[in-house]
Structure 1
Amino acid sequence: MEKYTKSRAVLLAAGVLLAAAGSIASSAHAQGFTDVTASPTGLNERFLRNGTFIPINNLQRVSEGSGRLTQQDVTSLLGSPNDPSSTERGNNWLYNVNLPLQGEDYLVCQYRVSFSQQVVMSSDWRRPQCSRLFAELSQPQALSFSADLLFGFDSYAISSQGRRELQQATQEATARLRTPSILVTGHTDRIGSAEYNMRLSQQRAQAVADALVQGGVSPQHINYVGRGENEPLVSCQNISGAALKECLAPNRRVEILLQESI
């Protein structure tokens, strides 16, 4: 697993305490965790906490698995706990997790999974900043682009204006994602045959995915799919002609879902 250099400031945020900051130990977020104390000048390499990059989806499954997941399930999702005594105690497993920040930086956070009779009862982060960062990383970012903006009529060739809009929006959205997972979904209106609309939506989704790759996103992080006319936002009943085409414009769209995959 690739590791990055981290500062001692990150170390403190992860939960190793100086004796002078002992009052922090009373925080509810740190309750039950074992503290390590040292004089302000006594820090050395052994105090540097090394974490592991764990898929965010796996951490989400554990956090949502109270009352259902077993210790074996947690091991499959997170690996063995970092604290060698965790498996001996049985009821509290401690993990050091690298949560990505912007660029190549990351925050090393202590994560605890608590069991009762070998079934997950709860999970929590030692520090509130880790809990907040995990919540942010767990929340997918959804972008929606008008197909009328990205493409010409009845076309899947992206316009120059559409390419600029696409690149700017996705670059801003992926700025804090270390390893983004991106799903591109194409949608059409109901004008024309269902078979034709499905094919057009797939072609448009692929065109957007290709544009993201050309903009620097790794192709292994992108999936795309077409939904045709099957997921409309508006129905526009009792309308025909040019008015119908205008009314159905919200249905002609490409949606991009981004989230952290590690």
Structure 2
Amino acid sequence: MTQRLLQLDQVSYNLPDGRVLFDHLNHTFNSRTTGIVGANGCGKSLLGRLLTGQQCPTNGIVRREGQVYAVAQLLEPERYPTVAALAGVDLILAALDRIAQGSVDEDDHALAVDQWDCATRLEAELEKIGLGHLNADSHTDVLSGGERQRVALLGAWLSRADWLILDEPSNHLDIDQQHELAQQIDRWPSGLVLISHDRGLLEHVNEIVELSPLGLAAYGGNYSQYVAAREQEQQSFQSAL
């Protein structure tokens, strides 16, 4: 079994103008589902990118063990031009194509391990969610925001990753699709970090981590339990005055 670890160790991040966005963050994410909440502009999406390794902290270390897969908040066609890219399988499919043409490159075969049916699985899952008219090479610039979101999330569920980082994944989804997303989160067997303002979706997490100028504060339970704990803290603070 793959060892899973996702941990912030004294992580700080300074903006290009020198301002400190956050400082000395410490947290070990549990191996189930954690919601990250906080005010707009506090750095939640940036924290998500630090967790995935897409950006590096100014100071401190982000420790990762296991495969991390991310679904970004912005799914621009310029960055994800095809369905395969949006579903995170473009490199795998390219490696499989090269292998079919005779490649013995070790990197190609490493990408292809346990992924020989990748194209078939993608096709079947697209059909299952009502997007069977798409294929791996379909251009994403003709898709709606909801269609792009659903393809990106499909890639997450197919990833077999040890950790998922989902940034505002309910964007552009209708009510039924939001319900299905919540069910998928409930079924996910590994670690998952949910960055979201969607209070309904945050009811499906096991831990809430609040990011603020004071740092990180962790609360066990879902969003309702987090709200109750924050209210209790406020009452205790007022009583102490």
The interval holding the TM-score normalised by the smaller chain is under 0.3
Identify which of structures 1 and 2 has the higher relative contact order when contacts are C-alpha pairs closer than 8 Å and 6+ apart.
2
TM-score with structure 2 length normalisation? Answer: 0.21
